[in-house]
Amino acid sequence: MPARFWISDALQRHFITGDPQSKRKLTLLAARGERVSFQVCGKWIEEGHADASVCAEVPDDLKVRVRRVGSVPVPHQNTGVPDDEVDGLEHLPGYVPDPLFDEQTAVVGPRETQTFWFTVDVPADASPGEKTITVTMALGNKKATLTAIIRVADLVIQPRTGFPVTHWFYTDALCDWYGVKPFGKKFWPICEKYMANMIEHGQDVIHTPVFTPPTDGVKRPTQLLRIKQKGDCYSFDWTDVEDWVARAQRLGFGYFEWTHLFSQWGVKNAIRIYRGQGNKENLLWPPETGATSDTYRGFLSQFLPEFESFLRTNNLMDTSFFHVSDEPHTDEDLAHYKAARGLLGELAPWMKTMDALSDIRYGREGLTDMAIPTIRVTKQYVEEGIPSWTYFCCGPRGPYLNRLVDTPLQKIRMSGWLFYRFQRLGFLHWGYNYWYRSQTRQLIDPFSVLDGHQWPNWAYGDTFLVYPGADGPIDSIRWEVFAESLQDYALLQTAGVDPEGELLAELEDFHKFPKTAKWLSKARAQVLGAE
């Protein structure tokens, strides 16, 4: 037989050189108002090539989006990951399925598998019961009919509350990739598509560059706030900040995360702030200016009262998150952090701060109002009763929760369950669209470089979640599965599941938890009353 066809859930990657499967019918459970996904695959067995295509018959009360699964090259395995925690071990190094293209056709080579990703939106007012989606896939001169049955439960899922989610948004990457000027007429249509994409995937916090973010190298200026300087006096024009906020709110963002006010990894310096908006990269002070120097103190003493006024005027005080500095590590960093936090406490006592940091001293001593520790130590914060958010990035790896290109999808899907189980107060990740060589302004090709040219320190799949399309974002499988994990959080919340109850008892820590599709299926069935 020259072609094989099958259907699967969204919790396994189908590698282009993988073996064919045999399943022709799939049943998925869904709450009303929920989004579910499945995959349809075909493998061409012959030596020549073949055209592939899919089409679907869909019930009137469902909405289906079909995308072609593309693959990206991964030159090495990520280090520090045992074999049983690697997805596609036998295919790596090699091509990994990840980007999702808005296409329903493909050309398939000899002995290759082509996969199509189906996203099904179940309206909140859909009638409960079984809905049948019939998919016809053609490969060469062969065709097959595959069936997805969506069992819609009575429960209507409600929006997630009390758990903000942020991924840092790089406006400089948009400007450089699409060749547009920051905050100009050509910038906004592109920017809003990426903003909308974040909302669609469960993110409700927007990283807002009132100043150019001082993280991960010296960036192209993307400073919303316009500044004029006359001697030691500064004046501020908030027009573009107001525009950003209005657009973000219109798209659905409920929270605003403001730029770190001190340098990264050490809290030693003032951040780079520019005259005007930085078009000529004319800094207000030298880069080596100290974090608590008279120069920076003088600026902050004028900026912070106006910032407070802006926030209060626009009713943003209770929905804003503020940072001191990202990831301080050493005892010296701790001393610098205390000094910087003290300066803000003196000049802006109204400002509550939060930062990605894992040394529990910051939480114990109240040096930050809300710590964001890595998942490696978040359980310690839980056990000591210290409120916190949580985060992961390039690490921890191994058995820990993460979202890399070789992280099993079942494991990624457990994110929302773990966040709910340990009742953390939010999640942060640094890499929504970092399309640069590490710490530089040099763009990479995201379709061929997934590590910022920094493997093994930076892991494949950590630096971005979306690929740049012609006029907007191209989703990744990782991003889709993570979004559905956040939806699981909302499902658990809607159903009133006890975080410490029997259902979630097997979730012991962020490295010790069930990691199988079978467990997820059974748990969701229990929550939806469909066991």
Cα gap 420→492, rounded to integer Å: 8
Residue with tokens 């804003």: 320
Q: Is the peptide bond before 396 cis (omega within 30 degrees of 0)?
A: yes
Candidates 135, 131, 126; CA nearest to 151 is 131
Determine contact, residues 6/41, Cβ cutoff 8 Å: yes
Q: How far, in Å, are 194, 276, 436, 470, 523 from residue 173 at the CA level?
A: 12, 20, 8, 14, 40
pLDDT in tens, 482-509: 999 999 999 999 999 999 999 999 999 9
Distances 321 to 161, 177, 405, 462, 499 between C-alpha atoms, Å: 16, 28, 30, 23, 26
Gap between the Cα atoms of 219 and 212, Å rounded: 7
- Calculated CA dihedral for residues 349, 354, 355, 361, nearest 10 degrees: 80
Of the candidates 96, 140, 102, 95, the one whose C-alpha atom is nearest the C-alpha of residue 118 is: 102
Q: What are phi and psi of 523, to 5 degrees?
A: -65, -45
Alpha carbon distance 469, 102 (integer Å): 10
Angstrom distances, CA of residue 115 to CA of 23, 67, 275: 14, 9, 50
Alpha helices in 162-238 (DSSP H): 171-178, 187-200
The partner residues of 509 in beta bridges, in order of sequence, read 512
Biggest alpha carbon distance in the chain?
80
CB 509 within 8 A of CB 379: yes
Angle at 260 between CA 259 and CA 262, to 5 degrees: 140
> In the 3-class helix/strand/coil scheme, how is 47-87 assigned residue by residue?
CCCEEEEEEEECCCCCEEEEEEEEEEEECCCCCCCCHHHCC
Strand intervals (E) in 377-448: 390-391, 427-429
- In whole angstroms, what is the distance from residue 372 CA to residue 391 CA? 7
pLDDT (0 to 100) of residue 339: 97
C-alpha 341/C-alpha 241 separation (Å) is 24
Whole-angstrom Cα distance, residue 387 to residue 369? 9
116: left (phi over 0), alpha (psi -120 to 50) or beta: beta
Contact 55, 135 (CB under 8 A): yes
Beta strands in 109-176 (DSSP E): 113-121, 129-139, 142-156, 165-167
Q: Report whether 134 contacts 57 (CB < 8 A).
A: yes
Please list the pLDDT of the chain residue by residue as tens digits (531 residues).
799 999 999 999 999 999 999 999 999 999 999 999 999 999 999 889 999 999 999 999 999 999 999 999 999 999 999 999 999 999 999 999 999 999 999 999 999 999 999 999 999 999 999 999 999 999 999 999 999 999 999 999 999 999 999 999 999 999 999 999 999 999 999 999 999 999 999 999 999 999 999 999 999 999 999 999 999 999 999 999 999 999 999 999 999 999 999 999 999 999 999 999 999 999 999 999 999 999 999 999 999 999 999 999 999 999 999 999 999 989 999 999 999 999 999 999 999 999 999 899 999 999 999 999 999 999 999 999 999 999 999 899 999 999 999 999 999 999 999 999 999 999 999 999 999 999 999 999 999 999 999 999 999 999 999 999 999 999 999 999 999 999 999 999 999 999 999 999 999 999 999 999 999 999 999 999 876
Phi, psi of 152 (to 5 degrees): -90, 120
